[in-house]
């Protein structure tokens, strides 16, 4: 019963929006608002297996690599910076400087330094997606319970054991909050990086359709982007439920008290 209830809440709003669009597009004469028939034709003609292999899968691969690198760099960097006050004080102004620079303005520079291949596109994703994870990890380490910290020092827990059993679990809720923010940033930057000096990819395809006034095909690419975002969100929620099972259980007990 709970599964049906959850499914109802998940699909109700998308179905209502789909019905509203079908009704609106059937009444509209605008060239930029395709109707149901045009969209189904666009999907069947554009998203063939060959197109998926040449444009969609490479984009998803670059997105996946960029997210994984952002998580690894963000967590390791955040644990190091958050664990040492002097390092945090030393790096904080520099981090704030680089965080304030939009990754999109660095794309021409990255093209000159790295080239126009996949490395540049992955680097752009990492440059934007790493910041929420890094900063949330630093804050998670900083806000570690002082009682736990004092207890670990008392029992002589140091080094990898301290990180593995105390610091990382304590900071994990904030790390996951940073990862959630990074997913949408990574998806946006994946599209933008493919709009510059690219000959394949989802972003390149959408721009080409827009420039050739293939409006239904352009909208089909945008819908595919949205579906990738939804799938990423569901995967993240599943991973979060596993990693933070203890945290959600603790919150339920606190709320019930």
Statement: the pTM of the whole predicted model exceeds 0.95: no
The Cα 81–Cα 205 span in angstroms is 40
For residue 257, what pLDDT is reported? 65
| CB-neighbour burial class of residue 184 (10 A; exposed 0-12, middle 13-18, buried 19+) | middle
Nearest to 240 by CA among 232, 77, 229: 232
Side-chain-facing half-sphere of 113: CA atoms under 13 Å = 10
Angstrom distance (rounded) from CA 153 to CA 17: 56
Per-residue exposure over 128-143, b if at least 16 CB sit within 10 Å of its own CB, e if not? bbbbbbbbbbbbbbee
Task: For residues 213 and 37, give the distance between their C-alpha atoms in angstroms, rounded to a whole number.
Answer: 17
**pLDDT tens, position by position, 178-227:** 999 999 999 999 999 898 778 888 999 999 999 999 999 999 999 999 99
Report the residue count for the chain.
Answer: 257
CA–CA gap between residue 131 and residue 186 (Å, rounded):
11
- Which residue ranges in the chain fall short of pLDDT 70? 256-257
């Amino acid at each position: 019963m709970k599964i049906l209830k959850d499914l109802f809440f998940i699909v109700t709003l998308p179905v209502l929006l789909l019905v509203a669009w079908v009704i609106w597009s059937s009444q509209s004469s605008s060239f930029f608002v395709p109707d149901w028939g045009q969209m189904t034709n666009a999907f069947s003609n554009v998203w063939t297996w060959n197109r998926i292999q040449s444009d969609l899968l490479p984009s998803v691969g670059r997105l996946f690599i960029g997210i994984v690198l952002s998580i690894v760099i963000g967590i390791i960097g955040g644990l190091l910076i958050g664990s040492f006050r002097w390092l945090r004080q030393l790096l904080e102004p520099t981090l704030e400087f680089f965080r304030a620079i939009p990754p999109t303005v660095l794309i021409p520079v990255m093209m000159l330094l790295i080239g126009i291949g996949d490395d540049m596109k992955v680097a752009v994703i990492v440059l934007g997606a790493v910041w929420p994870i890094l900063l949330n990890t630093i804050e998670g380490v900083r806000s570690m319970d002082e009682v736990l910290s004092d207890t670990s020092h008392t029992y002589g827990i140091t080094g990898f054991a301290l990180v593995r059993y105390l610091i990382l679990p304590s900071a994990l809720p904030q790390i996951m909050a940073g990862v959630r923010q990074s997913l949408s940033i990574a998806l946006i930057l994946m599209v933008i990086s493919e709009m510059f000096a690219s000959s394949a990819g989802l972003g390149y395809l959408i721009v080409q359709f827009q420039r050739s006034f293939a409006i239904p095909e352009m909208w089909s690419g945008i819908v595919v982007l949205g579906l990738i975002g939804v799938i990423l969100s569901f995967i993240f929620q599943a991973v979060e439920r596993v990693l933070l099972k203890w945290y959600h259980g603790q919150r339920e007990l606190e709320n019930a008290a």
